[in-house]
Structures are given as C-alpha cells and as structure tokens.
Structure 1
C-alpha cells in the first residue's frame, strides 16, 4: 500500500475490525492470528500490536465496536410484542457481529470465564434476558400471564433457543423464526 493511500485512524480501525470478523468466519477463534487479521486488513501486524497486545483484546474491542447498546425496558404494554422486541435485539446483535461473539464463546474453551465471555454477557445476553424478565413481571402485574410464569428461567428460554440456532444452524434468523420462538415456545409457557 503506497503512503498516499495509507489508512489511518477510524478508517484503519474499521478495516481491522472487519478483518477480525472475516477471519473468525474463515478460520474460527482457535486458528485466528494477529498475522491473519493484519493481512486481511491490509496493514502490518505491528499496527495491531501497538494497540492490542493479544487477539482476545482485539476481538473484545471489535465486538464492543459493533454490538448495539442494550435494549431499553419493555414499552409496548403487551407481553408478546415486548418479547418479540427483545429477541429481535438479540438477533440484530448476532447479525451485527456476524455471529462471531458466540463462535468465539463456543471455541474459547475456558468454561465461560474468559474476557470475551464477559463482553458478550454484559453487552448481549444479560441485557436481553433482563428485558425479557421485566416484560414477564410487567405482564404478570397486568394479569396478562400467569404470575408464576414471571421467572428468570422462562426469560432465558427465548435467548437460549436463538443462540442454539445460531451455533448449530448458522445463517440468517428471519422475522418469521423470531415470531415462532415467541408464539410457539414462549407464549405457551406463560399463558394463563
């Protein structure tokens, strides 16, 4: 790359983050290397090591860069729509990071105790489960669902189904699939 076209700042960072996800898709977490990321980003590996001492720190920053903020509290006043909104945020998050967050966790092999696990839990899985739980509590208070259905365990079911689909099937999670998770899995669990 000639000096006249050299990328810097935000442009270089975006190319590096794109390369992280491209490489995760191509080779997986275990075979991911700083050299591979540098080559895919068309930069030198020294540029990576100046900012990120390890691939875990680079992947963590890449995930933080693409992950949307946590979902807001349930707001529609109808449990089905609130649950659908929450699982849509989860799907959109998986799409934004190309499923890399869960691919990394699947391969990380630290029994759920790595830095990447913490990022995914704090930015993705826990906020979505919290919103689902809040939606269930609000629906129980309105008399829309069985009071005993407002549990964290039931709130975890929707995200578990979506993550399982992502890990085992891959591909796009359609709106119809999300509606099926809500209508065919969650709603029967909570109905009066």
Structure 2
C-alpha cells in the first residue's frame, strides 16, 4: 500500500476494549439447539431440541486495584420445541469478562438450577474460538452446586466453547461431566446451538 492509498474500512478496527468478546454484542436467536441429558421421569438418556434467545450487553469497566476488566452482562434462555409459549427449560444469567493485561477471558454464570460456575481460559484479543473451563475445587475457575444436585448429579467438570463464525453468527458447545447416582455412572450432559444476530446495540442500527 502506498502512502496515498487509504485502507478499506473493513481493515480498520476501533479500540475493541472488549477484546475477543466484541463480536457477541447484541441479541441472538437460534432454533437448532440439541440437549443430551438424563431424563429422570423416563429413567433414560435422550436428546431434546430447543429454541434459544441470548442477549449480550456491555458493562462499565470493572477495576480491582490495578486490574481492569471489560465485559458483557448476558442471558441465555431456551425453550423445548413445541413449548415456545410456555416456561423455558433452561435459563442462565451472568457476565463474560476480558482481562487484557493477563490475557484471560472469564464466564461468571448462574443457572436457574442452583448452580454457579466461574470458568475461563487464556485468550488473545482477536480470537474467534473462546474456551471457558472449570472444575470443582479450582480456586479461580471452579464450580458450586446445591446440595441436592451434589448428592444425585455431581458436576465433575465443565467445558464450553464459543465459536465466532461470522459477523452475525456464532455457535457454542457445552459439556457438564456428571456423576449420576440413578445410573451409578458418569455421563456427559451436552448442549449445542448456532445463533444468529437479530438486534444490534448500535446508534446507526434500525434494531437499536
């Protein structure tokens, strides 16, 4: 490129204080969700398909001494197909956080089932594959669950990945390794979905 040439606008990036979380800002919907879990009423493991709506909104900078965290508050809610007008079967709220100085992303999440997880991993500012991992007992990226679940479906490990596919599409996978008393075995409770942006939080957007 010569000194007189101007780069294409798509080649120019703003400060992107949210780092790798930047593409997630907005409201998203996905209709191809698949949940694999143990169904207590049927005493069997099976699949459930679902519709999901997610929202990611920026929060102000969070300061812990010299540490600065930028992030999003978020919610993800899912309805079984055929029950979209009824109560959701899955609901979670939390924060996604970016620690630029230490190259870490975090997912601080509470599930409506009485589960709280702080998960995270190393990340670079423009990563498009984001990993959130946690395990019981880890002082930084750990897992808490209510006593009933601890006794009957103890979480042994949590892994989740967000993949930014393009400007208006992302997918995720989630895996809870459970120790099930009902079966006397361990099983992977998994979820996956692909979501598309349906609203932008942007002053020039018709969806604002």
- Tell me, yes or no, whether TM beats 0.5: no
Q: TM-score, normalised by structure 1?
A: 0.29
Higher strand share: 2
Q: TM-score, normalised by structure 2?
A: 0.28
Higher helix share: 1
